[in-house]
Amino acid sequence: MPAAQPAAASANAQSRGRKEYPEIMRYVVIGVLVLIVLSLGSALVFVFRDRSDSKRAVKALALRVGLSVGLFVFLMVAYYFGFVPDRL
């Protein structure tokens, strides 16, 4: 019996450790965040440079909202399938 206790303790310690997740997840999230900031910056430039009835700023802001919603949905799906750990 005493031999089973250390094995159970070590298995329990391993399950409490940091969960591994695909390294690509980090790069995907950072990449989409960079795209969101770039879209916001381009919308700001279009607001100041375009004096006519150009729709470029509206399109850039719509792209930013779409990327943000897409990232949120992506993270929710990744969490559901276990690609994102419970706690970071």
SS (H, E, C) 49-80: HCCCCCCHHHHHHHHHHHHHHHHHHHHHHHHH
* Gap between the Cα atoms of 21 and 35, Å rounded: 23
| 2 compared with 37, residue with greater pLDDT | 37
* Gap between the Cα atoms of 57 and 12, Å rounded: 54
- Residue 26's closest CA among 18, 15, 38, 34? 34
Is the pTM for the entire model greater than 0.85? no
**Is pLDDT of 15 > 90?**
no
Dig out the tokens for 5 from the structure: 């206790």
